[in-house]
Amino acid sequence: MTKEVPAHIQRHRVGRASAALPEWAAVKFTDAQAAAMRPVGIEMLNKRGVCALHLKIIADAAGVGIGAAREALNIADTIGLITIERQLRGLYNMRSRSPEWLAGLRELQERTEHFERETVVKKAARR
């Protein structure tokens, strides 16, 4: 008999996989912390390596608590994945220090877009 995995744990696992962290960095994070790094990475990808988000926004986007998001940013800063330049009442200004992380996110985003395009084409062909 298999147990059903709770929805919040499934979200963290999906978030971990979609964070596209380099292997050397991924081992440092729990599932929830890795999920919190995804919105940070996407923002950096869209803003040329810079991210300025409030801690609550990061936590809400990842579906994790504020404590997990804060710890994820501290770990990422400690291991050299990002640099936190300034934090003011939950607002973090960060810069990416890992081009391989941004490249992994970009590749993941391109694969996702390609999959979505193929899905739309298949649905249109069935009609």
Domain of residue 101, CATH code: 1.10.10.10
Domain assignment of residue 2, yes or no: no
Total domains in the fold of the chain: 1
Q: What is the pLDDT of residue 69?
A: 92
pLDDT at 47: 86
The beta strand positions in 24-122, using DSSP E, are 50-54, 82-88, 91-96
> Does residue 38 form part of some domain?
yes
- Domain range for 62 is 7-126
pLDDT tens profile 79-116 = 999 999 877 787 888 988 888 888 888 888 887 777 67
- In this prediction, the residues of the chain whose per-residue pLDDT falls under 50 are 12-13
What pLDDT is stored for residue 56 in this prediction? 92
**What's the pLDDT score for residue 76?**
93
Are 73 and 84 contacting, i.e. CB atoms less than 8 angstroms apart?
Answer: yes
Answer whether residue 1 is part of any domain: no
| Predicted TM-score (pTM) of this structure | 0.74
Query: Which uninterrupted H or E stretch holds 66?
Result: helix 66-79
What is residue 77's predicted lDDT score, i.e. its pLDDT?
Answer: 93
Write down the pLDDT at residue 11: 54
CB atoms within 10 A of CB 122: 9
